Every structure is written in C-alpha cells, then in structure tokens.
Structure 1
Amino acid sequence: MADLQNSTGSPEIISPPQGSLIRTINEASERMLADLELSPLSKRTYRHGLKAFLRFLHSSQGHFEEADILAPYPIAALTEDTLAAFSRWLRESYPDPRASSGETGVMSRTARLYLVAAKRLINWLDLHHLLPPGVSFERMVRRIDQGRGQRRQGYQQRKVDPDVIRVLTHYMRQPLPERKGERRLALLRNRALMALLYDTGMRISEALALTREDVLDGRARKIRLKRTKNNRPRTVFLSEETRRLLRDYIRERHDGPFAPLFVSHGRDKGSAITPSHAWLLVKRAAQAEGLYANTSPHSLRHRRAQDLLDEGMPLEWVAALLGHQHPDTTRVIYAWETDEDRLADMIETYGLTPSQAQEQSREKGDEEVNDNH
C-alpha cells in the first residue's frame, strides 16, 4: 500500500471509497481521523501513531517488509490482547532515555502518544460496533492495566535465547550483492549494527544516537557514550571484527562525518534508522533462525552480559560496561542465570545424592555399633 503525503507532510493511510464497508484498520483510521476535530499537529501525531500500530500488527504476524507493513490489516484479527501487546512493543521500541538506571518498561513520550492514538481508534471501532465479537475497548484497556500490575510485582525475567548471536549470523550468511546500491548498503549496515550491539552491550537507543565521527569511521577502539539512558557517560570498546564491519559499511557511503552512524537506505534515505526499524531487523533475523519470539535488540545486550559473566568477568566490571549505576542491578537482571548455573556445578561437586546420604548414614551407624562392642 502506497504512502501518500497529506497537507501536514506526514504519511497518509489511503482512505476507502465512500460508502464502502469498513473492514481494515487502514480504512477505520482514515474514517476516524475525518470524524475527529483535531488540530493539524494532533492529526499528524495520530497518523504516525496509527502507522506504528500497523507496523506492530503486521510484524506480530511475521511480516517485516515495508510493503507488507503498510498493507491493509483486517479488523477481524484484533483480539483482547492486541492493545496490551502493542503497549509492550512500544516500551521496547521507544524506551524513555530519561529513565533511571535499572528502570525497565518505561515508555518515551512518543510511545505514550502512539498508544493514545491506538486507544482512540479502538474506542472508535467499539462505538461503531466494528470490533470482533467478544472484544471490547474496555476489556482491551483492562488487559493493559493488568500487565502494568504484573510489572509492579518486580523485574519479570525474560529468557533470552542462548543462540541469539545467530541474528548476526543470519546477516553474515547472506551473500553481499555485487552491484552497489541500497540492498548492498542495507546488508552492510545490518551486519555492523548487530555486531556492535553484541560487542559493546549498548542499548539500541545509544547505538542509534551515534554518528560516524563517534566511531572515527570504524577506526576507534573505544567510544565515549554521552547520550545514555541514565545520562551517565561511559566508555565501550570495539573489537577489530566490529571495527572492520563498520569500515566496510561506511566506506560505501557518500555522506559526511557528522551523519548518523546507522541510516536508512530506502524510505527516508539518509535519516537515522528508528528503534522500531532496528527492532524489525532483529525480529526478521530471529524468525528466520527459529529463535525465541521475544528476541529483540536488547537480547544481544543481555547475551553479551551473560557471556561475560559466564567467562568469569567480575560483576562490577560488567555493570560498568552496561552503564548500570549499581552492580546489584546487573545481578538482578543478568547474573541470576549465571548464579544458578554455578550453584548447580557446586551441588554436583560437593553434594551427596539421597542414596549416597543414606549409605553414609548406614556406615556411620555400623561404625557406632562396632565402637560400642
């Protein structure tokens, strides 16, 4: 489905013919926006939010190409969990850079506005009796609130696929197009981005804030991160392999040193890719490699921390690499798996099995009997 530009300059979702039945999210979005009395700025924000909602709906069905993401999505496919799932996706794709260290699941202002747009659409569908049978706006919003209640109970451990590095393998295995162009640049970018995320343990927001100058076009051995989640600068280090992938990517670009490090090579050419774009790149690779459904850019950070802890790096140094103000944050989020594994090894080494304990008890009993005689 083509993107049009409206008078505000924002992407437009194609309107259905007058008088037709409304069967898709795309059609309902245009009808709702036509009904609402909104300022041009508010309408533009709603359009972007509804486009993000479409991206989420299609990506949750395994569709990652831009043409698929903008295609009509049937209203009949909505469920009670749709808004709650969209809320989780927004928290992951648009985290709040101002959130304090260790705080998880905090939405940025953009994400909150996008969720408002989706809620407004669902409410409009409900008022016009267009939601699927058994689905209501009230129930969908309640599911969001239930999810928030669960998050307040404490950090929810999310298993990270131990083979998440295959996200990088997926792009490394793809043959590089011989002809220079958008497809070749996009593949070089994807390789460099996945390697950087794992190598440095960066958050996706930190990686996407980098410029070519920050990495000295792939020559820098270390990067001083200034735009971090907790506003505490820190230094990360690059392996030669990651530097080489960055150089391979930057060498074929024709922009300046202050350009964003990771840019779009299709729509919005030259602009920094967004967190949701990076999320889709990871999801696409994860699905192709058969990885966990919850795999995201953050999974590479998690895997890096886990690998370093497993190899024996002290907890406080892993915390410094990740930008955690307190090592306890690292322990709660990442070290629990390592601690469990080490505890299991200790039990294997030092513990007695029930049968061994019984045998030991019998032997002691026999010794006591012999001593008494």
Structure 2
Amino acid sequence: MTPERALDRYLRHLTIERGLSPHSLAAYRRDLTRYLAWLETRDVTDVAALTANDVDGFLAEVASGEPRPAASSLARLQSSVRGLHRFALREGWAEVDPTTRLVAPKLPKRLPKALTIDQVDRLLDGAGPAPGAQHDASAVQLRDRALLELLYATGARVSEAVSLDVDDVIDTEIVRVRGKGSKERIVPLGSYAREALGAYLTRVRPALARRGRASARLFLGVRGAPLSRQSAWLVIQDAAERAGLDAHVSPHTLRHSFATHLLQGGADVRVVQELLGHASVATTQIYTHVSVDTLREVYASSHPRAR
C-alpha cells in the first residue's frame, strides 16, 4: 500500500466513520501531507516498509527545524502520524506499527482563560444593545448580539454555532447542538439569549435570507450566505475592541467562561460535561480550578485563626 493511498483511505475513515469536523480533517491532512512529502524524498513506496527509525528521523528533523515548532504542534504532528500507522496496521497493510515507542512531548498545563462576568457583560454590549433596548440597533448589531448571547448561553464551539439551522432552535428555549463525531446534545437557553435570538429571527434574518440563496442556517451574513467561522471570530474581536477588553478574547473564551461560571455558581461537573459535549469528565474537570484569590478569600472567611 503506497503512503498516498493509505492517507486517502485514512482521511475517508476519519470523515465517514469517525465524523471529524472539516477543521480537524484539515489539520490531519496538513500534518500527514508533510509526512508523505518527507517519505517521498526517501523513496518510500510502501507503508509496510517503514520502521521506527524512519518515524523518529522525520520527527527529529521537524523538531530541529527553524523556526522551532511549539511542543503542541509537535504533539499534534506525532498524533497524526501515529493515527495513520495504527490504521495501516488494523487494515492489514503493515505487520508492525513503527510508532509504538513514541513518547509524546510534555505540554505545559494551561488553565482555560475565562472572562469575569463583568467582562462578559461588556463584551456582549460591545456586540450590540442589550435585549429590551434594541429598538435603534442595526441589523448587524442584532445578529451579532444574538450570536454572542448564544455562544455564552450554551458554551457551543464557534463551529457548532455557525452550523446551527433555524430548526435547531426549539421553541426559542433550547438548542440542538451537533458536536464532535456528529453527537447531538440539547442545551437550554437563558432569557437573555432567548430575547436576543427572538429579535434576530423576527427582525433581521428574513431580510438577510432574501439577499442570498435559500439556506437553513441560523446565522447569515450580510449577503445572505451562512456566516463562516472566520466571520464569527471577527464579530467577537470587534466586540472585544469596542468593549475595551485587554484580555485575549476568542470564540473559545466564551466557552471557557460558560463552563467556569456554571461551576462557580454550583453546577455539578457532570451536568457541565453534558452541556459542553465532552466525551470524558476529565476534560471538564480542568474548569474546576480555583483561583489563588478565591482560596485566600475562603481561607480568610472560614479558618478560625486566619485573621
């Protein structure tokens, strides 16, 4: 089996059987295309002929390149190569997996950066007027406020939010979100998000829909086409700039803030896991960290000899 055919079949497997998102598939394709280009310079024509020394040589060459790749990039590249070879072994194209001795680089443990509740309020106001005060708001402001309210109310990934159809908003009270692996989850909407979405659906979306081809997507651009991930990212960046937020704000920042604020408010970690669509509760537990300031505050108010 040639490396090129193996890659083609592996990507089809990731698409059809594992249901990976286009974004994840693009990352796999990019990493493995680089790997195959390296193999081509070594005249490798059969995945069965590859050894652990070949894999080590490729990764070492990448790691020593200029500019030096980040540990996270190396870890992702290593994971992509390992996935391809494990697939080749399962399919019977190779008798051994040359990646079994790989040791993943240690990545620094970074806690998710969440905004404070006040910062979230400022960010949402930067997108557009609050629900109930939107009489003079523009169509774009109504849409942008609805998008950000939904992201913060549901903790949805930006790719999940822009993939929502109108029918996924059920009675304006819950949203049906399709996550990784095409798994569906149901997430309730708070009153602010319901009001912002209601204003967008009744006052803005019909006009946007008439400008383009018929689309079932919930969020549309100014020309009527479905809103892209890049456009949603720009909406958040513009809102953060107008709000005067110094902290780095991305679509994932709202997801982190959603989870952190729920847990700080007393929500059970298992419930937050379900709302976020995490396959493992271990992923959700990274949000259960307590800040040093909170520790000091609790200690000072609770310990009899703290003062």
The TM-score, its normalising length taken from structure 2, stands at: 0.60
Match of 2:193 in 1: 242
Q: How far did residue 193 of structure 1 move?
A: 0.3
Deviations 1:34-93 (A, max 9, x none): xxxxxxxxxxxxxxxxxxxxxxxxxxxxxxxxxxxxxxxxxxxxxxxxxxxxxxxxxxxx
Match of 1:307 in 2: 261
Q: How far did residue 115 of structure 1 move?
A: 9.7
In the TM superposition, 1:1-373 aligns within 5 A as: 98=20, 108-110=24-26, 142-146=67-71, 148-149=73-74, 152-154=105-107, 155-162=109-116, 163-173=119-129, 184-216=138-170, 219-225=171-177, 227-251=178-202, 252=204, 253-254=206-207, 255=209, 259-265=216-222, 269-332=223-286, 334-337=287-290, 343-348=295-300, 349-350=302-303, 352=305
Deviations 1:243-273 (A, max 9, x none): 22112112131449962101110xxx22211
Q: How far did residue 142 of structure 1 move?
A: 2.7
Residue 67 of structure 2 aligns with an amino acid whose one-letter code is R
Deviations 1:5-36 (A, max 9, x none): xxxxxxxxxxxxxxxxxxxxxxxxxxxxxxxx
Distance 1:149 1:263 in 2: 36
Residue 219 of structure 2 aligns with an amino acid whose one-letter code is F
Identical aligned pairs, as a percentage? 30
Residue 299 of structure 2 aligns with an amino acid whose one-letter code is I
Q: 3-state SS of the aligned residue for 1:236? A: strand
Distance 1:352 1:199 in 2: 41
CA contact (8 A) 1:210 1:260 kept: yes
Residue 108 of structure 1 aligns with an amino acid whose one-letter code is S
Q: 3-state SS of the aligned residue for 2:120? A: coil
Of 277-286 and 150-159, the range deviating more from structure 2: 150-159
Deviations 1:212-232 (A, max 9, x none): 12115xx3311222x212433
Q: How far did residue 161 of structure 1 move?
A: 3.0
Judged with a 3 Å threshold, the aligned counterparts in structure 2 of structure 1 residues 172 and 107 are, in CA distance, closer, same or farther, namely: closer
Q: How far did residue 199 of structure 1 move?
A: 0.8
The TM-score, its normalising length taken from structure 1, stands at: 0.51
Higher RCO (Cα < 8 Å, 6 or more apart): 2
Q: What 5-or-longer segments of structure 2 have no aligned partner?
A: 1-17, 33-62, 77-104
CA contact (8 A) 1:97 1:205 kept: no
CA contact (8 A) 1:202 1:301 kept: yes
Two-structure CA RMSD over aligned residues (Å) = 3.7
CA contact (8 A) 2:169 2:176 kept: no
CA contact (8 A) 1:164 1:291 kept: no
Judged with a 3 Å threshold, the aligned counterparts in structure 2 of structure 1 residues 114 and 260 are, in CA distance, closer, same or farther, namely: farther
Judged with a 3 Å threshold, the aligned counterparts in structure 2 of structure 1 residues 228 and 168 are, in CA distance, closer, same or farther, namely: same
Distance 1:115 1:150 in 2: 11
Q: 3-state SS of the aligned residue for 2:69? A: helix
CA contact (8 A) 2:125 2:243 kept: no
Q: How many residues align?
A: 222
CA contact (8 A) 1:212 1:261 kept: yes
Q: How far did residue 347 of structure 1 move?
A: 2.5
Of 287-296 and 140-149, the range deviating more from structure 2: 140-149
CA contact (8 A) 2:127 2:235 kept: no
Judged with a 3 Å threshold, the aligned counterparts in structure 2 of structure 1 residues 146 and 323 are, in CA distance, closer, same or farther, namely: closer
Distance 1:315 1:341 in 2: 22
Judged with a 3 Å threshold, the aligned counterparts in structure 2 of structure 1 residues 173 and 233 are, in CA distance, closer, same or farther, namely: closer
CA contact (8 A) 1:222 1:236 kept: yes
Judged with a 3 Å threshold, the aligned counterparts in structure 2 of structure 1 residues 145 and 193 are, in CA distance, closer, same or farther, namely: same
CA contact (8 A) 2:115 2:254 kept: no
Q: How far did residue 207 of structure 1 move?
A: 1.0
Distance 2:181 2:304 in 1: 43
Q: How far did residue 149 of structure 1 move?
A: 4.8
